[in-house]
Structure 1
Amino acid sequence: MVKLIASDIDGTLIPYGRETLEPELFPLIHRLRAAGVLFSPASGRQYHSLRRLFAPVADEICFLCENGAILYGPGGEDTAPILSRTVMARAEAGDLARAIWGLPGCELMVSGVGTIYVCTENEGFIHLIRDEKGNRVERVERLEELPEEILKVSAYCPGGTAAPAAALGPRWGGPFRMAAAGPDWLDFTLADKGTGLRGLCAGLGISLADVMAFGDNWNDEAMLEEVGTGYLMDTADPVLRAKFPRQCRSVLAVLEDLLKELEA
């Protein structure tokens, strides 16, 4: 029996190029909760950004954030329990960040527990991650100024992720998990969404066999491999589609079908 729904956001619940969820999702989450099924976004996004995105239901859902590097149980923004966090070694994360900083055409983003740190004068990039994505952002002059633990280091690659991945992967794809998180984001963490989902299930006392998950990209692969029922979006990379034959066009349509069974 399904007891937890975990869903990626960008490219899965929200098509690329859009910034808001379908309003029909929130009543579905309420109905799932009434039927005994928890919901959790599973995203590379920051906790604050996800709470803003899911504002109508934010206090009653779980959150798998930063590609699984930090997990929150249900509750208010300042009171929800942190179920787990996976911190990057500061020296190695700093070296990786400097490598990204040196890549032409890329912007660096370093994620702490509650704040994203940038070292840039590019106001367009800051507007994107602060105002469009809803993150808490702080600009620092030097990476050594970061006042908290590092959960994720990311490269924003408006020209695509292929060249940055080829440049960074041989050195940094071993110490960290490197994954494309969309057409223009390359993320590095110690955790992945599979790690995060295992931690979330352990904290909630739910078996992975009782989880239904949705994703569309390579940073969702580990999560889809872990769960009892995994759906890949039918717009995904053909290589991923060959690996995950259970596919869908709409998460909301699958949830509606699940609720018909649960509420029957």
Structure 2
Amino acid sequence: MIKMVAVDMDGTFLNENKEYNRSRFKRIYREMKRKEIKFVVASGNQYYQLKSFFPEISDEISFVAENGALVISEKEELFCGKFEEPLVHEMLAFLSKSPQIQVLLCGRKSAYVDEKESEDFKQTSKKFYHRLKTVTDLTQLEEDVFFKFALSVPKEETEKLVMHLNKEFQGKFVAVSSGHGELDLIIPGFHKANGLEILQKKWGILDEELATFGDGGNDVEMLRKAAFSYAMANGSQAVKLAANYSAPSNEEEGVLKIVEELLELGDEKK
């Protein structure tokens, strides 16, 4: 029996317009609550952005945000990762040598972007980071807890850069691709699956009672973890290899369709 459902957002739960069928989900969520099944949003995006998608229920569901660096359940912060300051400066110095890489530094209070980055990058970042500050120097920031770098790189160089960063900074950072020329640098071991594990321990839920949905490289660990793991039809090859099952694409409301089946609700797009 499923006791917990965890969904990635972009390319998985959301369509290309960054939306989802709210009335259909409302019906599903009502049934999940009736059956005491937990709903978890597991994304590389910022917590403040993620909760905006669920204004009516954000205080009663759980979020594994920033690719696992921040876990908040029913308004309670359960976990917040942290890079030590020297490590942050080491990575900033490394990235400064590659002008084609645009950088966002993510913290508990806010995300930060250097004013020298392109306007297009800054405007795009605002869609995913509702708390975003433009600063003159990322090495001279106000006090915050920093737990992730979000990078925009030339799309054709994404996988090569992931491999290079993981080799260069082994044990210090883990580079994961979220697709489309975007990648994150996260704390080793603090990925989405780790965030789900924190919630599972809180509620006494086994991997055999967990369903996960994803489409990108940053979903692989949580897909491998769950007995009921679903790769979206639009997902990467790595995701399809990691998952036990497949789901229709995000444009076909694949997550909602599969969860309806798991709940034995039937397929009703209302």
| Shared fold, TM over 0.5 | yes
**2:165 corresponds to which of 160, 164, 168:** 168
Amino acid at match of 2:26: F
Q: Give me the whole-angstrom Cα distance separating, in 2, the residues matched to 1:133 and 1:93.
A: 21
Partner of 2:101: 106
Letter in 1 for 2:202: G
> Aligned equivalents of 1:239 and 1:126: distance in 2?
29
What is the CA–CA distance in structure 1 between the aligned matches of 2:133 and 2:55, rounded to whole Å? 23
> Structure 1 111/237 Cα, relative in aligned 2: closer, same or farther at 3 Å?
same
Cα distance, 1:36 vs structure 2: 0.7
Matched, 1:155 2:148: no
> CA–CA distance in 2 between the matches of 1:4 and 1:155?
31
Measure the CA separation in 2 of the matches of 1:40 and 1:114.
22
Give the aligned residue type for 1:27. Answer: R
Match of 2:92 in 1: 97
1:41 is matched with 41
The one-letter code sitting in structure 1 at the alignment partner of 2:87 is E
The one-letter code of the counterpart of 1:150 is: F
Measured in 2, the distance between the counterparts of 1:90 and 1:30 equals 44
Pair 1:96–1:134, CA change in 2 (3 A): closer
Q: 1:220 to 1:106 in 2, by over 3 A?
A: same
Q: Which residue number corresponds to residue 77 of structure 1? A: none
Within the alignment, does 1:255 sit opposite 2:250 as a pair?
no
Contact 2:223/2:242, CA 8 A, preserved across alignment: no
Contact 2:223 2:230 in 1 (8 A): yes
Q: Alignment RMSD, CA only?
A: 2.1
1:125 maps to which of 121, 126, 134: 121
Q: Deviations over 1:89-137 (max 9, x none)?
A: 221122213323432322101111131011133222222122x235200
TM-score (norm 2): 0.86
Aligned residues: 255
Match for 1:189 among 162, 174, 186? 186
Query: Compared with structure 1, are the counterparts of its residues 170 and 56 closer, same or farther at alpha carbon in structure 2 (3 Å cutoff)?
Result: same
Residue type matched to 2:130 in 1? N
Structure 1: distance between partners of 2:216 and 2:14: 13
1:35 CA drift (Å):
1.7
Q: Which moved more, 1:246-255 or 1:220-229?
A: 220-229
Output the amino acid matched with 2:128.
K
1:220 positional shift:
0.7
Q: Which residue of 2 aligns with 1:5?
A: 5
Percent same amino acid among aligned pairs?
A: 24
Counterparts in 2 of 1:158 and 1:56: CA distance versus 1, 3 Å: farther
Q: Distance in 2 between matches of 1:240 and 1:48?
A: 26
Question: TM-score if structure 1 supplies the norm length?
Answer: 0.88
Contact in 2 for aligned 1:83/1:203 (Cα 8 Å): no
Amino acid at match of 1:186: L
In the TM superposition, residue 261 of structure 1 has moved relative to its aligned partner by: 6.6
Tell me if the contact between 2:220 and 2:238 (Cα under 8 Å) persists in the aligned partners: no
Asked if the contact 2:112/2:132 (under 8 Å) is kept, the reply is yes
Runs of 4+ residues deviating >6 angstroms: none
Secondary structure of the corresponding residue to residue 26 of structure 1: helix
Q: Secondary structure at the match of 1:152?
A: strand
Aligned in 2, Cα 1:154/1:228: closer, same or farther, shift over 3 Å?
A: same
- Deviation at 1:229? 1.3
Residue number among 149, 154, 175 corresponding to 1:178 in the alignment: 175
Q: Give the Å deviation of 1:56.
A: 3.0
Residue equivalent to 1:58:
58
Q: Secondary structure at the match of 1:55?
A: coil
Measure, in 2, the Cα distance between the counterparts of 1:21 and 1:182: 20
Q: Which residue in the other structure is 1:27 paired with?
A: 27
Letter in 2 for 1:157: V
